[in-house]
């Protein structure tokens, strides 16, 4: 009976070790999968923020082109200014939906200033305030996208 008891104990130890190994393996696999899921969601969110910021910058560029041409006394493009402002405000709203409060506020401040400059036919199109608002937006947008790079000297 000693041999049978020893065999049974060894078999039970083998079953326990196998079960423990399986449970540990499943736990580690689940942990890796959770981390992968978090990373995937973070990547998707960053891509959404990047797309919104890029769309906003495209709309800003179209408005600034009109302001720059106006400042230089050149004729403006055929597109109505109202349409450009509408695209700008829409792009700003997309930023508000997916970006942080800081980026959203900077986009709002910049959009409000550009709107005012578009509606004011004097030569403030190159105002220092416009440059300041652009720089603020660019820096908070860079932080939002986690560039990890130092602030730009301007």
pTM of the model: 0.73
- Judge contact between 114 and 60, C-beta under 8 A: yes
Task: Tell me the pLDDT tens digit for each residue of 49-85.
Answer: 999 999 999 999 999 988 888 888 887 767 688 899 9
113 φ/ψ angles, rounded to the nearest 5 degrees:
-65, -45
The pair of structure tokens assigned to 5 is 């008891």
Tokens of 73: 């006394």
Backbone angles phi, psi at 144, to 5 degrees: -60, -40
pLDDT of residue 33: 85
pLDDT on residue 25: 85
10-residue stretch averages of pLDDT, the chain, 154 residues long: 75 85 86 86 90 95 89 76 92 95 96 91 67 92 80 65
CA 91, 79, 111, 134 torsion-angle sign: positive
- Alpha-carbon distance of 119 to 63, in angstroms, equals 11
Phi-psi group of 148: left, alpha or beta (phi > 0 → left; psi -120 to 50 → alpha; rest → beta) = left
Burial 138-153 (b: 16+ CB within 10 A, else e): bbbbbebeeeeeeeee
């Amino acid at each position: 009976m000693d041999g049978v008891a020893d065999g049974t104990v060894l078999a039970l130890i083998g079953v326990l070790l196998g079960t423990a190994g399986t449970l540990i393996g499943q736990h580690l696999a689940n942990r890796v999968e959770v981390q992968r899921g978090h990373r995937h969601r973070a990547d998707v969110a960053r891509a959404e923020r990047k797309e919104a910021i890029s769309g906003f910058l495209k709309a800003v560029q179209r408005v600034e082109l009109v302001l720059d041409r106006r400042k230089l006394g050149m004729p403006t493009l055929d597109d109505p200014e109202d349409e450009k402002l509408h695209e700008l405000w829409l792009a700003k709203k997309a930023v508000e939906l997916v970006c942080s409060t800081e980026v959203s506020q900077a986009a709002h401040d910049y959009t409000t200033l550009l709107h005012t400059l578009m509606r004011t036919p004097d030569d403030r199109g190159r105002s220092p305030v416009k440059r300041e608002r652009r720089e603020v937006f660019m820096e908070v947008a860079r932080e939002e996208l986690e560039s990890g790079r130092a602030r730009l000297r301007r």
